[in-house]
Amino acid sequence: MSTLTQQTLSHLDWLEAEAIHIMREVAGQCANPVLLFSGGKDSVCMLRIAEKAFRPGRFPFPLMHIDTGHNYPEVIAFRDKRAEELGERLIVRSLEDSMARGTIVLKHENESRNKHQSVTLLEAIEEFGFDCCIGGARRDEEKARAKERIMSFRDEFGQWDPKNQRPELWNLYNARTHQGENIRAFPISNWTELDVWQYIEREQLELPSIYFAHTRPVVRKGDLLMPVTDLTPAAPEDTVEDVMVRFRTVGDISCTAPVASDADSIEKILAETATTTITERGATRMDDQTSEASMEQRKKEGYF
């Protein structure tokens, strides 16, 4: 028996190999793809996979972040630092610019900007002529994301129809589009939150500090802990508490909540993640709790 056949591959080896294959399929089939990079843990894993797929050369696509202007500053600083370390081009398109153009109109000043990212994303796709956006979404995050294909087709208006997706047989992926149509590719769709943390541990990947337990002022809103910030101040009737928390996901401040936790290391986070019974977005995202189909509706409008 050869040395190769004697080698035992871990489940992370299989997931990584699949993700590298998908990323190379995108590079081979698409004329002008882009990798969405927010500075979050999933997109950090995506950068590592891109390194393994394409180094020592440059990535065959730029990085892009759709910035709501209401992101946690630690995450934005990490985003810029990581892109500079890699020497890759980072495109940032801001909701503020879309608001100045009048393509985004808020109902009121304090309305969450999260759902409006779809508008700025579609504008950026048209501006640069991208035919594929590579994202770090996973099926275990939320019901609508569980319906996504690896190569998810969007029509010429950027819309997703869950009943009109292309079949995917085994590892045969179809990223072909006509002019104006678009593909969203999800190389780590088959990963779980625990897989992501195990991969971060194995690859010793750096993350923004807010993923680890720290003390932060919060107010309780039902089952959620909402952070007290300049953008989300406490109401007069609220009771502000200093609580040890960490973030399971990062996003717009107005709709992303931390969870109570004392996990200040990857080892502790792995233990905590292995025993949790609430999905990552179910525990932390106000925008996904407005209705059972809130994510699906946003995706139909062009969301990630």
pLDDT at 162: 84
pLDDT category, 6, cuts 50, 70, 90?
low
For residue 289, the model assigns a pLDDT of 55
pTM for this one? 0.89
Q: In this predicted structure, what is the pLDDT of residue 282?
A: 64
Q: SS3 for 67?
A: strand
| Residue 287: predicted pLDDT | 60
**Mean pLDDT of the chain, nearest integer:** 90
pLDDT beyond 80 at 226: yes
Of 278, 137, 280, 264, whose CA–CA distance to 210 is shortest? 264
Among candidates 290, 296, 286, 52, which has minimal Cα distance to 161? 296
pLDDT tens profile 178-211: 988 999 999 999 999 999 999 999 999 999 999 9
- Stretch 50-70: mean pLDDT, rounded? 97
pLDDT, one tens digit per residue, over 253-291 is: 888 899 999 999 999 999 999 998 787 766 665 665 555
pLDDT of 235 over the 70 cut: yes
Q: Residue 3's pLDDT band (boundaries 50, 70, 90)?
A: low
pLDDT bin (cut points 50, 70, 90) of residue 5 is: low
pLDDT at 101 > cutoff 80: yes
Higher pLDDT, 290 or 249: 249
Predicted confidence band of residue 8 (pLDDT cuts 50, 70, 90): confident
- Alpha-carbon dihedral sign for residues 187, 192, 193, 199: negative
The alpha-helical segments, DSSP class H, found in the chain are 3-6, 11-29, 41-54, 73-86, 95-101, 117-128, 143-146, 193-203, 266-275, 280-284, 294-300
User: 262: which DSSP letter?
Assistant: -
